[in-house]
């Protein structure tokens, strides 16, 4: 059975594109059934449109409260009956209502090696701290900020002449490969979350 993925984006969508490219091969085991965003006019949505995949937008500002937004987002995602929800550069925290429906099957990717440097500025914070390696972390979303159980991590070196941009680009290359590999395995082999430990293969 091919797993149904809903991918949520807020920006350029290169992680989404990596999944779309991989999923073009039926043996990948997963396909993107919809792409959602918290804003319009972004390249991530255009990538989905070019691939002929349905899109939707749920903006926080269009709702009377964050909670209503969260519920609306969950409804829009739920309409596509996903097996997995992938937050790929989605710059909003999902809330209780969303997690009540999709907790345990929602993945996020963070451009740092958790538990270091959570939040919006992983590459900048790693560079400022002076670490010699950093990377990306794929995790099962929980109520915290980048705190969920870890599915996979990818490591990249920090170079002496790195800027935030060059470091983030290096991270993103590793991040995309990690995401594609892990989502495919989760779809094909299943997975189990046991406390903080995630095991692929059920």
Applying CB under 6 A, does 14 fall inside the site for ligand GRF?
Answer: yes
x/- letters, 25..44, toward ligand GRF (CB under 6 A):
-------------------x
How far does CA 168 lie from the centroid of its chain?
A: 16
What gap in Å lies between CA 15 and CA 1, rounded to an integer? Answer: 23
Q: Are 17 and 38 in contact (CB under 8 A)?
A: no
**Interface residue with ligand GRF, options 5, 6, 8, 13 (CB under 6 A):** 13
CB of 201 to ligand GRF, least distance (A): 25
Q: In the numeric block, which tokens belong to residue 147?
A: 């705190």
Applying CB under 6 A, does 110 fall inside the site for ligand GRF?
Answer: yes
What gap in Å lies between CA 81 and CA 200, rounded to an integer? Answer: 22
Applying CB under 6 A, does 92 fall inside the site for ligand GRF?
Answer: no
For residue 42, the 8-state DSSP code is: -
The span of 26-34, 65-73, 103-111, 149-157 binding ligand GRF (CB under 6 A) equals 103-111
Applying CB under 6 A, does 106 fall inside the site for ligand GRF?
Answer: no
Catalytic residue among 63, 110, 121, 168: 110
Q: Which is nearer to ligand GRF, 16 or 34 (CB)?
A: 16
Total residues binding ligand GRF (CB under 6 A): 15
Which residues make Cβ contacts (< 8 Å) with residue 6, sequence separation at least 6?
32, 33, 34, 35, 36, 77, 80, 82, 84, 85, 86
**Interface residue with ligand GRF, options 30, 45, 48, 88 (CB under 6 A):** 88
What gap in Å lies between CA 137 and CA 92, rounded to an integer? Answer: 17
What gap in Å lies between CA 118 and CA 145, rounded to an integer? Answer: 7
121 is catalytic: no
Q: In the numeric block, which tokens belong to residue 195?
A: 């406390």
For residue 131, the 8-state DSSP code is: -
Applying CB under 6 A, does 109 fall inside the site for ligand GRF?
Answer: yes
Q: In the complex, which residues of this chain contact ligand GRF (CB under 6 A)? A: 9, 11-16, 44, 88-89, 109-111, 172, 175
């Amino acid at each position: 059975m091919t797993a149904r993925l809903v991918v949520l984006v807020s920006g350029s969508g290169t992680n989404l594109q990596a999944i779309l490219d991989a999923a073009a091969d039926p043996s990948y085991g997963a396909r993107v059934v919809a792409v959602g965003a918290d804003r319009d006019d972004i390249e991530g949505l255009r990538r989905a449109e070019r691939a002929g995949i349905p899109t939707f937008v749920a903006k926080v500002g269009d709702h009377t409260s964050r909670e209503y937004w969260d519920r609306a987002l969950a409804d829009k995602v739920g309409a596509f009956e996903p097996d997995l929800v992938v937050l790929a550069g989605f710059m909003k925290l999902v809330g209780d209502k969303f997690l009540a429906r999709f907790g345990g099957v929602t993945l996020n990717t963070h451009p740092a090696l958790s538990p270091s440097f959570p939040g919006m500025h992983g590459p900048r914070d790693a560079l400022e701290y002076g670490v010699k390696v950093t990377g990306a972390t794929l995790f099962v979303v929980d109520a915290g900020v980048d705190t969920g159980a870890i599915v996979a991590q990818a490591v990249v070196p920090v170079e002496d002449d790195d800027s935030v941009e060059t470091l983030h680009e290096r991270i993103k290359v590793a991040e995309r490969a990690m995401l594609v590999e892990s989502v495919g395995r989760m779809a094909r082999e299943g997975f189990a979350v046991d406390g903080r430990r995630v095991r692929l293969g059920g």
